[in-house]
Every structure is written in C-alpha cells, then in structure tokens.
Amino acid sequence: MKLSSLCQYGSFLRAFLFLKNVLNIIFIVVPIILIITIIMKLGKIVISGKTDELKEAFSTSVKKLIAGLAIFLMPTILSYTFDLVGESFDELRMCMDNATTENIKYYDSISEAISALDNMEQNPTKANVSKAQSAVNKIASIAREDDMISFIKRISDAQIKAEENDLIMACKAKNGRYENGMCLTIQLEKPQKNDNSNSATSGSQGGSSSSGNYSYDPVLNSGGSTELNTLGGTFTVANTKIKVLDYVNFVNKRGIYQASNISKYTDKCLGFAYVHACGQYTGNTSSTPDDGANYRAGNCSFSTYVNDSKEDVLSKVFNEIVNGRPVVIQVNGNKKGTSRHFVTVVGFNSRVTNAASLTERDLLIIDSYDGKLERMDTEGARFMTSGKDCGKKDYSGYRIQYIKS
C-alpha cells in the first residue's frame, strides 16, 4: 500500500502528528534553552569578575548559537532538500501536511470508504467496486470535493480492471488466451472426409487430423455507417439512432461536458465520453451533466482494448464505426501529451476505405471537455497517446473503450 493511501487513515496521521509535535519542540524549545544557558553563563562570569574566562566562554557560546540556529532552521533546510530531491518525498510531505487534528477527525469520519477503496484496488472485482461505490455514496455529503474527485476516479479505474479480469476469466473458460484486450480462441478445422474410408478416423488408414489456429473472437455486430458533410469535409460516421449533429446540439444545450462546470467535473473526461458514445448509439436524450460525472452511461457496457500498435487500435476504431458504434479513445490532455484525456470518435474522413489506411488525423470526435465536434487534423488538435507517453505505467499502450455488442 502506498504511503499516500496510509495518510488518509486517522490512526496513521496521529503518529505523524505526534512526530510533528516532537520535532516542533526540538526545533523551537532546544534553541531557546541554548540561548538561555548561554546568557546565564556569560552573566555569571561577568558578575563574578573572572574576565579571563570570558574569552573561552564567548567562543563556546558562539558554537552553541550556531548549533541552535541550525536546529531552528532545520525545517527550512529539510523542505529545501525535499524540493531538490523531487517526487521521492512528495508522499512523506503530504503526510506531514495532513497531520492536523482537524484532518484526523475528518479522515476518521470517512475511514470506512477509504478502507473499501483500498480493498477494491488490492482486489479489483465487481463486488468490491460495488462496495466501494456504496461506501463513497454514504460520505458524499461530508467528503471534500477534491477527495470525491479522487475517489470517483479510483472507482472508475478499478471498474476497468475488474471488467478486464472478468474478460480474462471468460476467455480462459473458452480455453482461449487473452491478449491486448481481445480473447484468442482456438478455431478447429472440420475434418475432411477421406474417400478411402467410411469415416474420418485418425491413423494410417486415412482421416485428416484437425489443426488449430488462434483467431480473434468476433466482437462486431451488423450496424452501418453513413456520410456526413461538416467542418469543411465529408466524413463516414456511425449510423446511430440519433444523428451526429443532432446529438452534438443536445450535448451543448444540456451542458453535458466537463467545461460546463470545470471545478465540479475535473477528471471526469472518461465519464462524459462514455455518456457521449452511449447516448448517440442508443439515442438517449435524457442524460444530464451529473451522468457524466458519475460514469452513468445508460444501458451501455464498455470493454477495454489496449495495444502498443497505434495502427492496430485504429483498425479496431474503423471496425466499430462502420458497424454503427461510436468508440472512446485515449488522447492527449495537454499540448505535450504528458497527461491523458478521453474523447468519443464518431467517424473518420470518407476518403478512408479500409482499416489499414485509417490514421488518427482522419478521426472526427466529440471532445468530452467542451462537447464540440472536432476534426483531429487541424492545428492544435487532439492526438492519440499511450499510457507510456503520459507517464501512466499502469496504462501502457494505446487505449480505447468500445461498446459491448
């Protein structure tokens, strides 16, 4: 368990508060005692008239003053050292900052939710995710806004992992191998009847043996695509129950995007992207901004697909669109691409005729940040990032979330 997680427990913070109090005594009281001792000693010498001892006493006193000053300045020195070291001591600093009587009372009041979240992350199952969600809902009225944002994000990430774990188990049940978000199952060829025998049997008398090759499980249903003229181009878009432009108008009218209340919906890009993909796919026009904030994507269920090959992921995007399903992709959250963001792909440039020729610059998206329909081939446009690009070791590879068929 990370130190930052432990620092959300009242009992752990009490230990840090005790340590802070001890250090404060050392940093403040000890220098004061040294100064008083020096004054008393020098005063005693002056009163006694032993001037020959004054020089030696003065030298000793200077050394003690330097030591006292060093102790008094130790917090500043340590803080400066931590800044030089960088992130190594960030969690320790956070624990020290959190160690206040007020915070201890606060974290005691939400300890059940924190414990449920930690348990969920250690064992990400749907049952544990549900328990954590229930525990967080109970403390929603007393939890701080930044904590709630963190809690909901942790639940969302665990949901993805739990879903992936279920897919792995389901794949194993089929005697398949789970790789890069897909289940590889053995497809056995049907035995060919041998003209020299009455049945396909093994052995020297003839019947052909069965051979097995791994192939992807089918994930695409019949859907369809249509053409849309917009933003100065022609695009092939998912043929959903509500037209792209009509849905974008609905999203902007209802404020179903992060920027409608950025302080409230920070880090909710994935939730809004889910709502945009599912809303367009199902024709749902009853969504609210809070649906995005709480990852309520209507009747849709999403699966994750990850691959280090951008071309492979784009091929998956192509197949989803032509089969009538918008798809969520991971893109850059800032200009350098060192943070991640999620948007909904609704189509691609109509000049693209096959999956192999699709590039990220061909994509047409609804941006979860401002709800706008955007091309990805304009200056300053979003671009696809892998987890490695944005410093997320747990999310390596290019990532999409697609609607389960």
Residue given tokens 């917009």 in the structure block: 230
Mean pLDDT in residue range 153-179: 78
Q: What is the pLDDT of residues 42-98, one digit of tens each?
A: 777 777 766 666 667 777 777 777 776 777 777 666 666 655 544 445 566 667 777
In a domain, 163, yes or no: no
Q: What is the pLDDT of residues 247-268, one digit of tens each?
A: 999 999 999 999 988 888 888 9
In a domain, 172, yes or no: no
Number of domains in the chain: 3
Q: Which residues pair with 373 in a beta bridge?
A: 366
**Higher-pLDDT residue of 205, 185:** 185
In a domain, 167, yes or no: no
Q: Which residues contact 171 (CB under 8 A, 6 or more apart)?
A: 177, 178, 183, 184, 185
In a domain, 247, yes or no: yes
* Least confidently predicted of 178-187, 363-372, 373-382: 178-187
Examine the domain organization and report whether 183 and 141 are in the same domain. Answer: no
Examine the domain organization and report whether 295 and 233 are in the same domain. Answer: yes
In a domain, 166, yes or no: no
Q: Is the pLDDT assigned to residue 14 strictly greater than 80?
A: no
Mean pLDDT in residue range 187-211: 34
Q: What is the pLDDT of residues 374-404, one digit of tens each?
A: 999 998 899 999 877 776 666 678 999 999 8
In a domain, 181, yes or no: yes
Examine the domain organization and report whether 275 and 373 are in the same domain. Answer: yes
Examine the domain organization and report whether 198 and 339 are in the same domain. Answer: no
Examine the domain organization and report whether 262 and 345 are in the same domain. Answer: yes
Examine the domain organization and report whether 188 and 46 are in the same domain. Answer: no
Between CA 359 and CA 177 the distance in angstroms is 28
Examine the domain organization and report whether 274 and 375 are in the same domain. Answer: yes
Q: Which residues pair with 178 in a beta bridge?
A: 183
Query: What range does the domain containing 91 cover?
Result: 3-155
pLDDT at 206: 33
Q: Which of 104, 120, 155 is the last residue of a domain?
A: 155
Predicted TM-score (pTM) of the model is 0.49
* Least confidently predicted of 120-129, 164-173, 235-244, 335-344: 164-173
Q: Is the pLDDT assigned to residue 344 strictly greater than 80?
A: yes
Q: What is the 3-state secondary structure (H, E, C) of the chain?
A: CCHHHHCCCHHHHHHHHHHHHHHHHHHHHHHHHHHHHHHHHHHHHHHHCCHHHHHHHHHHHHHHHHHHHHHHCHHHHHHHHHHHHCHHHHHHHHHHHHCCHHHHHHHHHCHHHHHHHHHHHHCCCHHHHHHHHHHHHHCCCCCCHHHHHHHHHHHHHHHHHHHHHHHHHHHHHCCCEEECCEEEEEEECCCCCCCCCCCCCCCCCCCCCCCEEEEECCCCCCCCEEEEEECCEEEEEECCCCCHHHHHHHHHHHCCCHHHHCCCCCCCHHHHHHHHHHHHHHCCCCCCHHHHHCCCCCCCCEEEEEECCHHHHHHHHHHHHHCCCCEEEEEECCCCCCCEEEEEEEEEECCCCCHHHCCHHHEEEEECCCCCEEECCCCCCCCECECCCCCCHHHCCEEEEEECC
Q: Is the pLDDT assigned to residue 34 strictly greater than 60?
A: yes
Mean pLDDT in residue range 157-173: 80
- The percent of residues in the chain predicted with pLDDT above 70, rounded, is 76
**Higher-pLDDT residue of 167, 296:** 296
Examine the domain organization and report whether 253 and 364 are in the same domain. Answer: yes
Whole-Å CA distances, 57 to 37, 71, 220, 342 = 11, 21, 89, 70
* Least confidently predicted of 106-110, 124-128, 370-374: 106-110
Mean pLDDT in residue range 193-199: 34
Q: Which residues contact 261 (CB under 8 A, 6 or more apart)?
A: 255, 289
Examine the domain organization and report whether 25 and 135 are in the same domain. Answer: yes
Examine the domain organization and report whether 130 and 190 are in the same domain. Answer: no
Assign 187 a pLDDT band (cuts: 50, 70, 90). very low
pLDDT at 345: 98
Examine the domain organization and report whether 277 and 388 are in the same domain. Answer: yes
pLDDT at 235: 94
In a domain, 195, yes or no: yes
Count of all residues that appear for the chain in the document: 405
pLDDT at 148: 85
| Structure tokens, 53 | 């001892």
**Higher-pLDDT residue of 76, 111:** 111
* Least confidently predicted of 37-41, 182-186, 265-269, 341-345: 182-186
Examine the domain organization and report whether 294 and 205 are in the same domain. Answer: no
In a domain, 56, yes or no: yes
